[in-house]
Amino acid sequence: MDLKHSLTTRIVIVFALMSAFVAGVFALGIVATVHVVERKLTTTTLSGGLHRLLAMEDISHWSHKPEKSELFFAEGAKPPLTLTTQLAALPLGFQEIKFHGEDFYAMVESVAGRKYVLLRDQGSLEQREHLLFIVVIVGFILSILLAIVLGRLLARRVMAPVIRLARQVRHRDQLIELAPPLHPDYAADEVGELALSFDQTLGRLQATLSREKLFTSDVSHELRTPLMVLGSSCELLLANPSLDARSTAQVNRIARASSEMRQLVETFLMLARKPDEVSVQSAVTLKEVADAQVEVWGRLIREKGLEFIYVEQLACTTRYNLTFLQSVLGNLLRNAWHYTDHGFVRLTLRDDSFVVEDSGIGIPEEQHHAMFQPFVRGDEQRGEGLGLGLSLVQRICNQQQWRVQLTTREPNGCIFTVTLAQEEGGQVRGLPAA
């Protein structure tokens, strides 16, 4: 049985198969019983009829005739009762024969050395058996159809609590904190046990979500303050004119790392929220984010001895979430800077997308899909990264209904294309209206 069928369909199929088996056995039993009974009854009646004819009068003055559907023959009798060669060769007892091209039942007996044969035409019996066979077949088909109808009705009654429970569980996430338990609405049976299991599982899920919300709140409170202190301290140090070049570079590195960490914390906190909980006040255009990222990463890319190319093919006024767009673009630029030693890095802005292209070590085509999985890094693993950058990009794109595509650049390098969601009815997709 195909396990992809619904449970209701499987119940109906099992019910129909069981009914077909029972009805089939019953029909075969009827046919076999009727056949055996009629054979025994025919044997008895033929034997009785033959003895009755023999008891009527002497064979030399024979004048009696058998029943209408019967033929009587006797050894030494005058025509038309003369025993033919075919009939004379028959053994004693009951049997079925063909006589003149037709089917007959035959009863053969011998009295005082003479053989007597009484034949009965099988036509009427075959008609009755044919009629019985039709009745049995019709009854078999009707029993299956009735089983299917009753099976569907019973399956609906049986599955009604399960379907109701499935609908309640499906919509429970809308009021997960306020919804009452499910199991009190059901009897203490298998469905009730299933409802109790759902209650327990959803309760544990609710507790887990509550702990996660508390954790994200704690992260927001505990990490933002020290990161802000780090940023302000770096600004004060950089404002000190007595700071030498080496110390200035180290302070800039600390400031950049704290800024990236603050951006990462904001990104993860926003990913933990639902799309309708994301603030619309942080919406910006693609060019605004690109200009800010170019100022940071363009300088770092050039300091590495690479050529940085910034192309604006078409100005776009659509607004997107600042944190998410900044994180996606920043991670892709960081990835290009990290894995490119010679050549260039190019950022191209389009109407509803942007492209980050580099001439770095590249990624084999068979690894394209795996590179967006967490903790996966390129073949030439550099630095102390954990391989979360592209995974974070993929998560953000999925959350915002954007699309990121990786293609190989010939002869070497990567091309990342991010297609952004368009405005719908004056609202930014993934952000609520102000």
Which backbone phi and psi does 413 adopt, to 5 degrees?
115, 180
Name 416's bridge partners: 356, 406
User: Please, which residues have CB within 8 angstroms of residue 118's CB and are 6 or more apart in sequence?
Assistant: 46, 49, 50, 53, 66, 70, 71, 72, 73, 106, 107
- 375: pLDDT confidence band, cut at 50, 70 and 90? very low
The pLDDT tens digits of the residues spanning 334-373 come to 889 988 988 999 999 988 889 999 998 888 777 777 777 6
Report if residue 162 sits inside a domain. Answer: no
Domain identity same for 62 and 42: yes
| Measured CA distances, 89 to 47, 97, 116 (Å) | 19, 12, 12
In sign, the C-alpha dihedral spanning 240, 242, 247, 252 is positive
- 256: pLDDT confidence band, cut at 50, 70 and 90? confident
Percentage of the chain modeled with pLDDT above 70 = 81
Domain identity same for 237 and 358: no
Please name the helix (run of DSSP H) or strand (run of DSSP E) that holds residue 13, with its range, or none: helix 7-54
Domain edge (last residue) among 212, 244, 272: 272
Domain edge (last residue) among 255, 272, 289: 272
The whole-angstrom distance between residue 306's C-alpha and the CA centroid of its chain comes to: 50
CATH of residue 411's domain is 3.30.565.10
Which tokens go with 94? Answer: 């009951």
Domain identity same for 294 and 263: no
Q: Within 171-244, where are the H helices?
A: 190-238
Helices 322-338 and 245-271, packing angle to 10 deg:
130
Report if residue 167 sits inside a domain. Answer: no
Best mean pLDDT range from 191-200, 215-224, 302-311: 302-311
- 387: pLDDT confidence band, cut at 50, 70 and 90? low
* Number of domains composing the chain: 3
Domain identity same for 178 and 234: yes
Report if residue 203 sits inside a domain. Answer: yes
Segments forming the whole domain that contains residue 221: 174-272
Which of these, 83, 76, 73, lies nearest to 60 by C-alpha position?
76
Domain identity same for 335 and 203: no
Domain identity same for 291 and 222: no
Report if residue 95 sits inside a domain. Answer: yes
Domain identity same for 37 and 117: yes
Report if residue 132 sits inside a domain. Answer: yes
Flag whether pLDDT at 59 surpasses 60: no
